[in-house]
Amino acid sequence: MKEELFVSGRNIPYIDPYLNIWHWEIPVYLFLGGLAAGIMFFAGYFTIMRKEKEMQATVKYAPFLVPVALVLGLIALFLDLKHQLYFWRLYTTIRLESPMSWGAWTLMLITPLSMVWVASYTREVFSRWDWKFKILYQLEELIIKNRKSLAWAMMFLAVILGVYTGILLSAFNARPLWNTSILGPLFLVSGLSTGLATIIWMSKSKYERKVLSRLDLMLIGVELFLIIHLFMGFLAASEVQIEAAQLFLGGEFTVVFWVFVIILGLIFPAIMEILELRGFHIPIWIPSLLILIGGFVFRYVMVEAGQITRYLY
């Protein structure tokens, strides 16, 4: 028999018996960040592809959610901080080695950018909107003229944001479950997928939904592929990572992961999207909502389970 115990009675809040320093705030932050990145990415993409007319929900309407999601995400991040009065310290330095730091800076850049984008469509969406000042009208004109460049910037930052939401966790080698390079792309793809799901939900155009559903199916396929690789990687790695994988393969997180994330969050919506593409009538909000729930649960579970995994004891 092997027995290991703290004889000094260590029992530190949030640290013992298992690490639990991050709660719902971080998964919310990651989820909203991924979702925002998804929407921005496709808004940018279809703008560059000159599909503004066909893809109105993607380019024009869904982006209105982005600043909201980002601000809510930032609020969640702020709520997670334990020394909140010192929040501003994030912006007194740029630390390239710290994903937290460049995440904070990316958000700092991308949030205004998304607002500018939204502003450029405000009068199209709300026809009675009035900018009141002349200078604002001039600015609007300028932005509209440079929408293409904006689109490039947005796509670029969206990718950074998306990857960041994945890398934030995988940068922590100390947590065996997060210690894998697959997590970055996986979270990116999942973020794009939640973005797409949101747009599909908002779209009124059959054509647009079809284009997006196809894309989404592709992403779901990639996601499933990455998840399989993730577990294969773990099972082929060190003991602690095998143990980490066990949390999802028979351990405490098995049901929630396979039911909410894989079946209800990926496979089920995928089937519904296929049926929809084949002409069956499916209330479109169902697969979208399932994807969103699956996306959040995925992050929540990864954050919770990841903290439990450790090298020692």
> 145 φ, ψ to 5°?
-65, -35
| Footprint on residues 89-128 left by other proteins (CB under 8 A) | 89-90, 92-93, 95, 97-101, 103-104
Residue closer to other proteins (CB basis): 185 or 295? 295
- Which residue bears the tokens 């080695």? 97
- Continuous segment of H or E residues that includes residue 155: helix 147-170
Q: Read off φ and ψ for residue 44, nearest 5 degrees.
A: -65, -45
Q: Binding other proteins by CB under 8 A: which of 54, 64, 71, 75?
A: 75
Residues 6+ away with beta carbon under 8 Å from 40: 63, 66, 110, 114, 117, 154, 155, 157, 158, 161, 195
Side-chain half-sphere exposure of 122, counting CA atoms within 13 A: 17
- With tokens 């509209």, the residue in question is 144
Q: How far is the CB of 29 from other proteins (least distance, A)?
A: 11
- Type of residue at 303: V
Q: Which of these segments, 40-48, 171-179, 193-201, 269-277, binds other proteins (CB under 8 A)?
A: 171-179
Stretch that binds other proteins, among 40-48, 152-160, 172-180, 272-280 (CB under 8 A): 172-180
Residue 15 vs 49, nearer CB to other proteins = 15
The count of residues interacting with other proteins (CB under 8 A) is: 82
201 vs 300, which CB is nearer to other proteins?
Answer: 300
Residue 80 contacts other proteins per CB under 8 A: yes
Query: Cα–Cα distance between 225 and 231 in angstroms, integer?
Result: 10
Helices 147-170 and 183-202: angle between axes, nearest 10 degrees: 130
- Looking up tokens 């560059």 gives 48
**Ranges within 190-249 binding other proteins (CB under 8 A):** 238, 243-244, 246-247
CB 288, min distance to other proteins, A: 12
Q: Is 252 in the site for other proteins (CB under 8 A)?
A: yes
Show contacts of 7-11: CB within 8 Å, 24+ apart: none
Q: Is 313 in the site for other proteins (CB under 8 A)?
A: yes
* Residue 229 beta carbon to other proteins: minimum distance, rounded to whole angstroms: 21
Stretch that binds other proteins, among 1-9, 138-146, 198-206, 222-230 (CB under 8 A): 1-9
Tell me how far, at minimum, the Cβ of 158 lies from other proteins, in Å: 21
Q: How is residue 16 written in tokens?
A: 């013992």
Query: Applying CB under 8 A, which of residues 82, 128, 132, 278 lies at the interface with other proteins?
Result: 82
